[in-house]
Structure 1
């Protein structure tokens, strides 16, 4: 029987403050560099989605967050990788890009103008509704 790779979960956080959404510009890999995304990362073995997202945002942005409800549905990145987004609230820390080229706050009228990482576009309708 062929060995099946375990499903990898990648989590992303939607941080909204004063009717603006925090987005991060990717530095790598080359095919995604320069595109914008909701920041996050991979869920480690034995880790919950919420714990992974809090850890990733601490590592990537220097902030502590509370992870809230899901945003939209799962997005399949590949046959074995699933992307999930959650609403997050900043509790502490000063935002700074550690692994990204840049961070910026965008308002609802700027969402459609950004060059997004393709997978994250699935959540634009929900994000737009939250920002209105």
Structure 2
């Protein structure tokens, strides 16, 4: 087994609205540009995952989130070229404001049929199986 590089801790939100979840498209000029992902970002030193996600959602989408409203769902572990990604996905059902694409090329409210068709980073793909029952579509 190869040695893992430094750990990269990232948080993301499954913002659920009825049978849909919000995804954002990574902008040109970034790693994995053009792929669709769940909004979120890196955990800063001294931050809890929930505080980091609330901060990231305000920065990326302009929405206000109570960290206590975030429910842990699942995590993914993915080796990258020089680091090892640990991605924590939280469920979010309540927020204030209307999401805006501040740091993404686009936003989309996607049901499972749309999610299955979108190109996504490898770390996000395992989340689809977990989200299917939450979006009212059973399993994949």
TM range, smaller chain: 0.7 to 0.9
Compare 69-78 and 87-96 and name the one that shifted more: 69-78
1:77 offset after TM fit, Å? 4.3
| 8 A contact 1:14–1:85 mirrored in 2 | yes
Q: What are the Cα deviations for residues 19-60 of structure 1, in whole angstroms up to 9, with x where unaligned? A: 111000000454511110001000000000000000000000
Q: Structure 1 73/116 Cα, relative in aligned 2: closer, same or farther at 3 Å?
A: same
Partners of 1:42 and 1:117 in 2: how far apart?
16
CA distance in 2, matches of 1:115, 1:129: 21
Q: TM-score, normalised by structure 1?
A: 0.87
SS of the residue aligned with 2:116?
helix
Structure 1 residues 121, 29: closer, same or farther in 2, change over 3 A? farther
C-alpha distance in 2 between matches for 1:102 and 1:22 = 11
* Bigger strand share: 1
- Hey, what does 2:44 align to over in structure 1? 44
1:89 aligns with 2:96: no
* CA shift in 2, pair 1:40/1:130, >3 Å: same
- Cα distance in 2 for partners of 1:114, 1:130 equals 18
- Specify the alignment match of 1:68 in structure 2: 70
Is 1:15 aligned to residue 15 of structure 2?
Answer: yes
Gaps of 5+ in 2: none
How many residues get paired? Answer: 129
RMSD: 2.0
Contact 1:14 1:88 in 2 (8 A): yes
Question: How far does the alpha carbon of each residue in 1:57-107 deviate from its partner, in whole angstroms, 9 at most, with x for none?
Answer: 000000012342222233234454311111113321121101000000011
What does residue range 18-33 of structure 1 map to in structure 2 within 5 Å? 18-33=18-33
